[in-house]
Amino acid sequence: MPHSTTPGRALAIAAGAIFTAGTCAILFEDVLLKGAAFQLKHGLASAVLAGTILAGHLANDASRARHWLASAGFALVFVVGTALVVYSSVGRQAADTMQTTAQIEADAGRRVEISRARTRSADMLEAAQRELAAECKSGQGKRCGGIRATIEVYTAAIAGHDAALGRLGPVRVASPDAEQFAEIVNVVLGADKA
C-alpha cells in the first residue's frame, strides 16, 4: 500500500494553526480581552481570513490539476487576502499603540501639571508656616487663626495633589518594546539610542 502523506505535512498544519490563532488573537483582541461586542468588522475579518486560507489550498489543488488559469486566480485571491489580513492586523495594532501612546502622553502632561501645582502649594505652605512662626511666637497674635486656616488649605491641597498623582499610577513608557530594542542596539552596535 503506497504511503500518500508528504513528509512535514503535520508540521505545516501545526504552523498554519499557530499562525491562524495568532492572527485571530490580533484581529479579535478587543472582543476576546476587552469585552467589545462582535461587530461587522469582526465578521468580515473572519470571512477574509477563512477565504484566504481556502484560496491558498484551492490554488495548490488547481496547480496540481494543471488548471493554470484557476491556479493563478486563486493565488491572486490568496495574495490579496493575505495583504488585507496583514493590513487589518497592523492597522489594529497601530491604532492600539497610538491610543496607548496618546493616553500615556496625556497622563505625563497631567503628571507635570499636578507636580507643578503641588510644588506651588508646598512653597506657599512653607511660607505660611514661616509666617505663623513669626506672627504667633509670642502666643496668639491677631492673624494666627487666619494663618492656621491657610496652612490647613495648603496641606489639603498637597494631599489632593498627592492623591491625583496616585490615581495616575507609575510613569509608563509608551513603547517598551521599542525602548528595549533601542537599548540592545545601542549596547551591541553602539548606535544612538534615539
Cell of residue 81, nine digits: 487576502
Q: How high is the pLDDT of residue 171?
A: 75
pLDDT, residue 76, reads 92
Cα distance between residue 12 and residue 18, in whole Å: 10
- Residue-wise pLDDT tens for the chain (194 aa)? 556 556 677 887 888 888 888 877 877 887 888 787 888 877 788 888 888 888 988 998 888 889 999 889 989 999 998 888 878 777 776 777 777 778 888 888 888 898 899 999 999 989 888 888 887 776 676 777 888 888 888 888 888 888 888 888 877 766 666 667 777 777 887 777 66
Specify the pLDDT at position 3: 60
Query: 122 and 151 in contact (C-beta within 8 Å)?
Result: no
Q: What pTM does this model have?
A: 0.49
